[in-house]
Every structure is written in structure tokens, then in C-alpha cells.
Chains A and B, each alone.
Chain A
Amino acid sequence: DQQVKQNSPSLSVQEGRISILNCDYTNSMFDYFLWYKKYPAEGPTFLISISSIKDKNEDGRFTVFLNKSAKHLSLHIVPSQPGDSAVYFCAASRTSGGSYIPTFGRGTSLIVHP
């Protein structure tokens, strides 16, 4: 049951370039989406979120784009820095009923080379 899919297990990018991490979902009831970053031996850290009423949300170097018709979201990191090297998890939730319980993807390991 993969309601949230991150089809690229890893991504390698040069420092200063753009990193684009992709995520697809199947459940049309999802209406709140999040990205978490995880370093080894640490728990996931919230990065950025977007509600389904928007198609873009920006926070500094991080921008999340949502394409509801395609059930696709992406995280853009510009410019990428070596400290961004981590596993990035996409998560989606359904807020109706006040749940907000996220369903996570398997993660994409981002490596940013100096």
C-alpha cells in the first residue's frame, strides 16, 4: 500500500545547483503535504508544508510545488549546500475529521557534493 511514493531512492547534486525531489500520491483525499529532513541517528525534522488550496509555498532556499491534478509534489532546494545532504521524506495527510496523521514516503537520500 504505497499511497505516497518517492520513486528516486537517491539524488546526487553539485553544491550551488538546484535539487529537485519528487513525490507522488494516490489518495485524492490528501489535502496537506509536508517535507521532513532526516540526518543519521536523528529523528525527522519538519522542513516545509503546503495545503491543497495552494500550489506553491516558499521558505528561504526551499520551495514546495503542488500539482493536484497530477497528484504530484516536489521540493526544490536552491542553491543546494553540502549541509542539505540528508534523507528527505514526503508526507501527506487528510485533514478532514481533524486527523493530520501523515502517510510517509520511503524517502530520497540527497547528497550534495562540494
Chain B
Amino acid sequence: EPEVTQTPSHQVTQMGQEVILRCVPISNHLYFYWYRQILGQKVEFLVSFYNNEISEKSEIFDDQFSVERPDGSNFTLKIRSTKLEDSAMYFCASTLSLGEQYFGPGTRLTVT
């Protein structure tokens, strides 16, 4: 069964450093998403991506964040200058049509 994959599973970085979180969505899906979940809190929407551009973003997704789909398979989330409060689980999701989304296993980002 096709699945969304994410790498790395755990990323530790120092405050102020740039990180890139990688996702490989399900191959025929068209809509792509990033979410985060701070420990003990709810899953929060960051950004959606369709037709090679951002379709929606939340107020969390500020200028420090960017997304790219550099080739036909990868979907990346970049945080330019990480802050302590960026520590969270980051989930990628994809879907073929609007509705239920398929989530990856997540990347745990720890900013020290």
C-alpha cells in the first residue's frame, strides 16, 4: 500500500540554524500539506501546496518557513533560522482529491 514517507525521523539542530525536512508524498497525489504538533498540543496546519504553489498558509507559516517541490517526488519544508519554539513533530500529508489526507510518520525536530 502506498504511503507518505518523511526523513529524517529525528533532527536535532542548534537555534539559528537552517533545517530542511523532507517528504515523499504518495505518487499520484496532487495536494500536499505540512502540519506540526508541539508536544502535548494539537496538530496545527502550516501550509498547503497545489499545482506548484502555496494554496493556503496559517499565521504560523511566517517568513522563516518555505516549501518546495523541487522534483516530481519530494516535498520539503525549510525553516531558515530555527527558534526553540520550533521544536515539534512535523507531519507531511498528501491527498489525491480534497478530503481525507494521508499523513507521514513525522519528523521530530529538536532545537537546542
> Chain A: residues with CB nearer than 8 A to chain B?
4, 32, 34, 36, 41-46, 49, 89, 95, 98-107
Interface of chain A, main secondary structure: loop
User: In the complex, what distance in Å separates the CA atom of A102 from the CA atom of B99?
Assistant: 9
Do residues B43 and A44 form an inter-chain contact, with CB atoms below 8 A? yes
A41-B105, A101-B48, A101-B56 are contacts. A89–B98 as well, Cβ < 8 Å?
Answer: no
A43 to chain B, nearest CB (A): 3
Q: How large is the interface on B (under 10, 10 to 19, 20 to 34, 35 or more residues)?
A: 20 to 34
A43-B103, A44-B91 are contacts. A102–B98 as well, Cβ < 8 Å?
Answer: no
User: In the complex, what distance in Å separates the CA atom of A106 from the CA atom of B40?
Assistant: 8
What mask results when residues 67 to 105 of chain B are scored 1 for a CB within 8 Å of chain A, else 0? 000000000000000000000000101000011111111
Most chain-B Cβ atoms within 10 A of its Cβ — which of A98, A99, A102? Answer: A102
